[in-house]
Amino acid sequence: MPFFICPNCKNRSLDHDGKQGLLRQGVSCERCGFGFLFELLDDYYPGPNAGLIACDRAGRILAAGRGVFELTGFREHELMGKDVVEAFGLAGFDAERNPIALALEWGVRRLDEPIELRSRAGSVKAVTVDVFPGYDSDGGLLVSLSPRRANRSRA
């Protein structure tokens, strides 16, 4: 049974009666009215500070949720259509272990990968990324970025 998550408010819903699948074009979040839900194979509980980004099968940004601005300083309209890795300056992974490329290529989840992003103001932030391939045939990805706790010895 597919699970749906709202990239904006992170509300999770179950497709109890198959209705959401049939009405996918017009489906919107019951809680905040956001006009886009992401379909997941497994249920997912994003952290309270997580920012969710939905991407197409080429890794281009389709939607960015509420938490993304707090974390990165980018507004959704500045991100639309951009490559998710480039838009956030994602780095800190080995070239062969880019979690986003792996998820796109192999259709596998990547959880709890420590990476870095570059905020709109240019500062580098340590984050954790979870990446989920889309459940439906359109492919695509859900990227969840969460702040990593600062290393105390560096504070």
Name the minimum Å distance from CB 12 to Zn ion.
10
- Burial label for 61, CB within 10 Å (0-12, 13-18, 19+), is buried
Amino acid at 1: M
Cα(146)–Cα(103) distance, integer angstroms: 18
Using alpha carbons, select from 28, 70, 56, 150 the residue that is nearest to residue 5.
28
Among 19, 31, 75, 97, binds Zn ion (CB under 5 A): 31
The one segment of 22-30, 49-57, 59-67, 78-86 that binds Zn ion by CB under 5 A: 22-30
29 binds Zn ion (CB under 5 A): yes
Q: In which residue are the tokens 């300083």 written? A: 73
Name the minimum Å distance from CB 104 to Zn ion.
25
Name the minimum Å distance from CB 29 to Zn ion.
3
Q: Which residues bind Zn ion (CB under 5 A)?
A: 6, 8-9, 11, 29, 31-32, 34
